[in-house]
Structure formats: structure tokens, C-alpha cells
Structure 1
């Protein structure tokens, strides 16, 4: 008896049907699976489909399980393939929250993520409410910039690029008349929805915002520098010390805080700094290493009278100067 048409690809098509058309709320009976196969141009008998289901379930290392629901309205469905729905939602939220990914690329990526679950669950990944009011990049080249930087980091080579700023015409213009920067890239970090490159240059480690980098390319044959400095570098500490990714002199700063802001301090500085209760029972002090910048003073001011710079004296004095200047502006 000749083999029916499409038998060579029947298992693959059946696997795709189960992955995209079924979940625990939407099982398919064997007669329904036969119909679905016919829609794909594959003739199949019920008995052979039962055997195919057993074959698919017995494949070693398969990232799924085909489950049979018995009783009225029962049938077969496939459990999560590779990703659980909650994991996919987490990835979708990360894509939506990323300012450096354009709206068009966000939709493309989320559509691709949706292919890893059933079409019914894919509808749950439509979480567009999350992007309301969010600023998204309009430049998709950043994805290729990130890839070029990862490649250079893996190869251990230096990179060159132009570093840019926005002008009043809302265009990126290179700093220093288009001068090329050459640095040794070590790691990429993601902070506040932006990618930053940590690189060694001019005897120290510095950071660069990736979406402001243009024409990134490896410098062939240039060995990356700064291995000793990076070995002693703690990325998490570096990020905690900075506010708005603005550099400033590194100081040990003591803050006097109302007790209700304990959570805010832990969120910002982690559980490392010690929170020392004050005698009044309503305040505590904590000390952390901070790169002191105008953004840090703005962060403190955001707490009103609830957080005060207690020391050192020069940082406290600079905070007062900042507030005095602001007061002058609003007189």
C-alpha cells in the first residue's frame, strides 16, 4: 500500500499544531487533530495519530509534555514549550520597558516571543498598556551597535566610535567635531532602560551610553587594555554610587533619614550600608559611597525634609549652595 502524501513531515506538523493550537483550556481530540492535519495537506488515520502522540511524548530531552484530558470535551494538549507563560510575560515587559528598542522592533520581537506558546496564550502577551507615555527610541541601529560591542568584548579588542549629543533640532551631533573615541570595552550594563558600555580609557574605567555611540567598529589587531583595573572593578557598586549615570567625585556621604524612608534607601543602595537608629526613634543615619553630582542633590531634594545630607561638611555645603541657587531662580 503506497504511503499517504505528507507522511514524512507529519510528526513535525503535528508538533506545530499541538504547540500553537492547544493548551490546558483548549485540548484537541484525535478526530480534530486528523482534521488539522488534513488542513495542512496531510492524510492521517486516527490509529496512526495515537501512535504519533506516543512517539512525540517518548522523544528523549523534549522540552514539552503532551497531556491527555479524559472525559467530555477532553483531548490532547501540549504543556509549555521552552518558556512558561509567566516567563514570556516577563520578557515582553522587558522589551516594552526598553527605551532603546523602537516601537516597531518591539512589536516584531514580541510577535516572535509569541511563537513559543499557543495562539490563545499569545493574546495574553498583548500588554500595550505598558508603553503608554513611554519614550521609545526611533533608531534601530542600536541593536547592531550592541551586537558589535558584544563581539568586540568576546574578541578582546578595542573599539572606535563617535560619541554624540542631542541638539535643539532633535538630531544627534558628534562631540568634539566628530573626533573618534577609542576605548577597551569590558561589559555592557542596563540601567534605567538604557544600555551603557563600561570601557577602559585614559588610565581608568568610564561609561558611555550606547544609544549615543555611532559607527562602532572593532580596531583590528588592537589588544584590549585595563585587565587589572577591571578585575578590581565591581559593576554593582559602581552603579549604586552614581545617580542618573552622571559622574562626580567619590565621597563617603552620611544621610539623616526619617524611618519611613528605610525602604527607599535599601532600594537605592542595597542591604550593604548599616541603618543606625537615632535616639529620637524617628530617624536613622546611613553612610554610602556616592559619586556626588547635581543629580544626587536633586535625588535628595526629592524627599523634601525627610532626607538630609549630614556629612561630610563639603558635601553638605555643596547641597546648600545648590538649594540656594534654586531658591534664587524661583524668587
Structure 2
């Protein structure tokens, strides 16, 4: 091709500026011309006045072009500097994708390539991901992204969902629960916790809210049955759960050592009801999902955490401590 029509030339100019320039890499008209020649061959017919006119038209059409000229009579430098995402935001997106266990290794590489296209080729080189993509902890199921899309759609349209659910056994074989029977649920929200996506849903068979790891779902089906809209505060609900175990919501009161203040604020937020007890301890009062997950979370802190109420939670914690002691006592015998 030796000659470009006006539309082709303008579209290519926009692409050059978008992909190859930024605040640190600016092109003169000669540089832009060279880009055209690399794409269409050295014989391509170009007129600098036409390129200047194209630049003016792009600016009038609200395409961001920055023009710099150090001194009168010196060449002008052109660049596209406005980006939807700042470089640090793209780094966060890439790190999140690389860390997410539910995304397969191949999908991770594909997503990172796409994210890099949201900036110039020069800035994209700075986005080299420092987080190792460990295939041993990445999901092997490519069905996850399809399930996520279907579930978002079901939540948006308030439609009941059915699926099969399973787990791995000791032989590392994926085995469906309930002999492969269907789970029928009302999907409430999706949340990303501890590197995994979870579906929070109302399980009709047990008449309670449960959580399901999306990488463990199989044969997700959106039915035509609709349910009524109800307000569901995802952030508030997730902050009250522990290790994504379901259970009943109750008021809890826990005594913590002062060393754990940042842990508690990270979990419950700065608005948490925290009150000084003595020089070494404070008391947290909060609504939480009482479950095995809460018990396991509390035992992480050893003697730095003590349940004050409810009595049912005290019993669960003390029973678990007794069971742990029994395991070690048997081994010692």
C-alpha cells in the first residue's frame, strides 16, 4: 500500500500515539512518519501537513494529545498521556491476577498481557510481574471464569441457580458431594476471600445461608425461576465470617491482648466496639457468624484471646482445646 486514505491515516496515527507514546516518550512528526513506514513500507505517501491536520482533528474529538515545544523554531513533540489507569493501578491489577488461585496459569498470562495493553508499550515493560506464578497453587479448571460470569448474571437477574458441588479425596480425585445431586440455591453475592472466589447463597434444602468455593462448582445452571429482591450487605456479612464458614449470627465478646489490636482492626474495621479492659487487654464486642471457622480463628491467638460470651462459643472453644490435647496425650502414651 503506497497511499492511505484520510480515515486510515487518522486511525493509524491515533494507534501510534496511544500505543507508543506517553509522558516519557514523545514523538516528533519525523518519528511518527517512521512509524508509518515501518507499518506500510518505505514507499508510503505521507504529508506532514496532513498529519498535523489529523492531530488537530483528534484533539477536537477529545482524544488526548499533549504538544511540547522547548523553543520557538524547534520541533514539536506529540504524545498521548491520559490513561484510564495509572501505572501503579495496573501493577495492583497484575499482582492480584497473579496471586489469585482460582485463575489458571494460562488465563493468568493471558490477562496480564491484556492489562499491559492498557498503557503504552514502554510503560508495559515496567509492569513485569514480580510475583511468581506458581502453577502448583493455581486452579486447573477453566470452568471457573464461566461460572463467575453465569453467577453474576443470575444475581443481577435474581434467578435461582442449580449446580453440583464436590471436593478432592485423599487420592486427589474430585468427588461430587451428595452422590452428584443438585444444589438449588438463591445466589446472593460473590466474594473473593483468601485468594478464592466464593458464592454466598441461600440453600433451600437446609433453609440457611451457605458459602461455596466457585472452583468446586460443576454444571452451573441458571433457571428461569426468579426470587424477590432483598438487600444484602456483602462487606458487612463477609467481615463477620471466619474462613468462610457458615453459621448463625450472634453477639460475641472476646478479650484480646493489646498486641492484637491491629489484627482486630484489620478484621472488624476501625468502627469496631473496642474497649480497654486493663493495662494489657481490651474487649471486642461484635456481631459474628459463630462457626467452626470462628473457633479455629480464635485458637490462632493462643492465650492472647479469651471468649467471654456467649457460653455456647466458650464451650466450642474449650471442647476443641480438649480434643487437641487428647490427640497429643495419645501420641505421648
- Listed one character per residue, the Cα deviations across residues 87-133 of structure 1 (whole Å, up to 9, x for unaligned) are 22222122112211111101101101111111111112221425458
Taking structure 1 as reference, are residues 312 and 158 closer, same or farther at Cα in structure 2, changes over 3 Å only?
A: closer
Counterpart residue number, 1:323:
321
Contact 2:183/2:203, CA 8 A, preserved across alignment = no
Counterpart residue number, 1:217:
221
Counterpart residue number, 2:177:
175
Counterpart residue number, 1:302:
300
Q: In the alignment, does 2:55 pair up with 1:39?
A: no
Taking structure 1 as reference, are residues 201 and 301 closer, same or farther at Cα in structure 2, changes over 3 Å only?
A: closer
3-state SS of the aligned residue for 1:206? strand
3-state SS of the aligned residue for 1:189? strand
3-state SS of the aligned residue for 1:40? helix
Contact 1:19/1:81, CA 8 A, preserved across alignment = no
Taking structure 1 as reference, are residues 236 and 129 closer, same or farther at Cα in structure 2, changes over 3 Å only?
A: closer
* Cα displacement (A) at 1:201: 3.1
> What does residue range 96-135 of structure 1 map to in structure 2 within 5 Å?
96-131=98-133, 135=137
* From 279, 282, 289, the counterpart of 2:280: 282
Q: Normalized against structure 1, the TM-score is what?
A: 0.88
Quick one: distance in 2 between partners of 1:80 and 1:134? Answer: 39
**Aligned residue pairs, count:** 321
Quick one: distance in 2 between partners of 1:115 and 1:159? Answer: 35
Unaligned runs of 5+ in 2: none
Counterpart residue number, 2:18:
19
Worse overlay, 289-298 or 135-144? 289-298
3-state SS of the aligned residue for 2:156? helix
Contact 2:275/2:282, CA 8 A, preserved across alignment = yes
Contact 1:80/1:117, CA 8 A, preserved across alignment = no
Taking structure 1 as reference, are residues 286 and 120 closer, same or farther at Cα in structure 2, changes over 3 Å only?
A: same
Unaligned runs of 5+ in 1: none
* Cα displacement (A) at 1:312: 2.5
Quick one: distance in 2 between partners of 1:136 and 1:74? Answer: 49
* Cα displacement (A) at 1:224: 2.5
Quick one: distance in 1 between partners of 2:122 and 2:251? Answer: 54
* Superposition CA RMSD, Å: 2.3
3-state SS of the aligned residue for 1:129? coil
3-state SS of the aligned residue for 2:246? coil
Contact 1:196/1:207, CA 8 A, preserved across alignment = yes
Contact 2:95/2:131, CA 8 A, preserved across alignment = no
Worse overlay, 300-309 or 157-166? 300-309
Counterpart residue number, 1:235:
234
3-state SS of the aligned residue for 2:138? coil
